[in-house]
Structure 1
């Protein structure tokens, strides 16, 4: 039996139309993968990665040559080869939120301000910044302010309002590249460049930090190449290539990386210590294949957008829109279809396909959240998954796919279970 025979003929006719429609876009993504893979390969060769570099350290992690070399590669690739760049790439970061929090809070001191210029940060970071939750350990306990500039009605950055809002105490400008659980479009590197230019026109010495989650290798260049000072992300998203089991990275100006390293550990140690205990091989291999895995996930998102739009759903971005991250949103308009689709995503996963996801309370989120993710690495969003808060317009945020083939098969399966039964 052919794989197509498992699905409704009407659905497969629509899939055939989609395949023809998106073929030029997929070819463009293949070219982007080659561009990004060339950068990674060149850096591996330039830094003379050896088999011995894959052996991890234990204990304090002093003189971990493999770790130091991997961080040099991250700095090289993600900064476009800038000589000022340095990086921290560590399994000790427990999540993207932790990594981003360490980066931002390592930059500021009492009396300073962190200002988001891309609207309110997503739920978990609001707690990190003291905008929500009990505030214990947050910046406001140390006399550090955190605020944001709302986006315009169309979801774009309000540049005049941003320029007006910047104050003498504004030390860090933060840009959230991906939409998170918002309905706005994610910001391309070109849009980020416009924001940075507007900010620098008012305060040239302000530090610009990028929450780069979901963004690595989704375009040919990264935000550090258009004027950002520092950025951070998770290793169980794009940069880990599906291989890294945990961790995060911070990359940017050497002086700022050193500054935040003292918050990662303690003053006097910074990045000099930190064992990699069995993670280096996966982290190296993951970064090497990350351009290909990310490209496949983006191709999957393009397919999802085209197919689900043809089935009458509201999607964002559209299949032919510019892509700057992995996230594909689908508005179902009602909880029944949203839940049915999420259950079908789980049923088309390689791990825990027999499990039924249910909406439940989650730490850091205001609404119940439903999550479908049958992944090899818990919480990995470079792997195919779908999740979203149970609130109107009942939007699922789909992301990832270790292979384009899996993303395509799982999406077809979820569409059939939801709309063709």
Structure 2
């Protein structure tokens, strides 16, 4: 089927690659069915929430100036909290990235001399910089503000080291415990909802007075349950990732316990102003609300694409994580490409598969927030939108690429073929 359809166009793929793609596609039928079941559950959840809260056309109207009485803004906050299973949520286009949103959340919960402990090892590059762990950390990073930071390395299997976590939490009695759900630019394992629930319960028993902060980026709608249903104080995500559905043009969210979200709203605007201010440009509300409506479908496509990519490149002889049959907690697929040349060719191939700027020839370069040269493929409608077919790779040994997204599953199949063709030619 794949070979017959693709041969109608002028990509001229190697026959071996097309046969591998078809073989992989056929072998994953049961896995695709399981992902569809997750998709249906999440889609019904979102529809039910929109109906129960009374979504109306007037919620799509924007606001100006101070933004007082912005019913669309208020509706979307309530909708997001209901979908994520939290007491409260604040979603705003003013947050420029997931990293920005996380920084706001941590700044909300931390005061000078407080201790922040990451129990999922070293955070990824951009988070490490805002904490103050990199050599070129900015002056207003958390450590420079008087925050004490410690981290507990993952065990040899890439999972939280419970024995060491218990020792460190009992010793440090941190104000905030930080958990990263997704893998970032590392070979650590993504936490599934079940694993996260066990970890949260463990932390609560060891240090009941600590706040728990979760970086939830890339995790929304991958499973039928959301981390907001757990005893987490605050969690963060980005709308140019999963919950934006490919339509939201920017923005992020903080969700969790009512008191923590209220404090976060003061961090976003100013003490005493909070969530009741902030104008929304005309047209944005519809994009965010409709994007959330579409998110279960687009995340389903991305999840299928991740499983397909894992099996496709595994069949070509590359190490992959997760493997095709592993349970997943996010949409990211790690592929170990072994050499610098293969890595660059792979990412160039993903860019060539894009629908925007597919003609651009990528080169590695330094980017803000990263300690190594990075090459990024993002032929996307939304700049940096990683729910769309995209790939990121720090150009450093062992030369692993991180593939994510795909608003449509066929696009991910095409991306795999073009990337593989780029490597072998």
In the superposition, the TM-score normalised over structure 2's length comes to: 0.95
Give the 3-state SS of the residue equivalent to 1:329 in structure 2: strand
How far apart, in 2, do the equivalents of 1:378 and 1:414 lie? 21
Equivalenced residue count is: 416
Q: Give how far 1:366 is off.
A: 1.1
Q: Which residue of 2 aligns with 1:348?
A: 353
User: Are the counterparts in 2 of residues 102 and 263 from structure 1 also a CA contact under 8 Å?
Assistant: yes
User: Are the counterparts in 2 of residues 367 and 389 from structure 1 also a CA contact under 8 Å?
Assistant: yes
Deviations 1:3-53, CA, capped at 9 Å, x for gaps: 332422222221121111111000110010000011100000011000110
Q: Give how far 1:261 is off.
A: 1.2
Q: Which residue of 1 aligns with 2:68?
A: 62
How far apart, in 2, do the equivalents of 1:272 and 1:86 lie? 14
Q: Which runs of 5+ in 1 are unaligned?
A: none
How far apart, in 1, do the equivalents of 2:115 and 2:275 lie? 25
Deviations 1:88-134, CA, capped at 9 Å, x for gaps: 10000000000011011111112211111000111111121122234
How far apart, in 2, do the equivalents of 1:93 and 1:30 lie? 32
Residue pairs, 1:110-129, within 5 angstroms:
110-129=112-131
Q: Which residue of 2 aligns with 1:370?
A: 375
Residue pairs, 1:245-260, within 5 angstroms:
245-260=249-264
RMSD: 1.3
Give the 3-state SS of the residue equivalent to 2:175 in structure 1: strand
Give the 3-state SS of the residue equivalent to 1:322 in structure 2: coil
Q: Which residue of 2 aligns with 1:144?
A: 147
Q: Which residue of 2 aligns with 1:165?
A: 168
Q: Which residue of 1 aligns with 2:320?
A: 315
How far apart, in 1, do the equivalents of 2:417 and 2:150 lie? 42
Q: Give how far 1:192 is off.
A: 1.1
User: Are the counterparts in 2 of residues 112 and 169 from structure 1 also a CA contact under 8 Å?
Assistant: no
Q: 1:174 and 2:178 equivalent?
A: yes
Deviations 1:163-182, CA, capped at 9 Å, x for gaps: 11114651111100001001
Q: Which residue of 1 aligns with 2:59?
A: 53
Q: 1:265 and 2:269 equivalent?
A: yes
Q: Which residue of 1 aligns with 2:26?
A: 20
Q: Which residue of 2 aligns with 1:88?
A: 90
User: Are the counterparts in 1 of residues 130 and 137 from structure 2 also a CA contact under 8 Å?
Assistant: no
How far apart, in 2, do the equivalents of 1:169 and 1:184 lie? 25
Matching residue within 139, 150, 157 for 1:154: 157
Deviations 1:302-344, CA, capped at 9 Å, x for gaps: 1101111001111111111111101001111101111111111
Q: Give how far 1:2 is off.
A: 4.6
In the superposition, the TM-score normalised over structure 1's length comes to: 0.96
Q: Which residue of 1 aligns with 2:245?
A: 241
How far apart, in 2, do the equivalents of 1:144 and 1:338 lie? 37
Q: Which deviates more from structure 2 when the two are superposed, residues 86-95 or residues 134-143?
A: 134-143
Give the 3-state SS of the residue equivalent to 2:253 in structure 1: strand
Q: 1:100 and 2:94 equivalent?
A: no
Q: Give how far 1:135 is off.
A: 4.2
Deviations 1:382-408, CA, capped at 9 Å, x for gaps: 000111111111011000001111111
How far apart, in 2, do the equivalents of 1:369 and 1:387 lie? 7
Give the 3-state SS of the residue equivalent to 1:396 in structure 2: strand
Give the 3-state SS of the residue equivalent to 2:407 in structure 1: coil
Q: Give how far 1:194 is off.
A: 1.7
Q: Which residue of 1 aligns with 2:279?
A: 275
Q: Which deviates more from structure 2 when the two are superposed, residues 55-64 or residues 69-78?
A: 55-64
Q: Which deviates more from structure 2 when the two are superposed, residues 161-170 or residues 390-399?
A: 161-170
Q: Which residue of 2 aligns with 1:37?
A: 43
How far apart, in 2, do the equivalents of 1:115 and 1:271 lie? 28
How far apart, in 2, do the equivalents of 1:414 and 1:321 lie? 23
How far apart, in 2, do the equivalents of 1:417 and 1:43 lie? 44
How far apart, in 2, do the equivalents of 1:245 and 1:88 lie? 17
Matching residue within 227, 232, 237 for 2:231: 227
How far apart, in 1, do the equivalents of 2:129 and 2:269 lie? 21
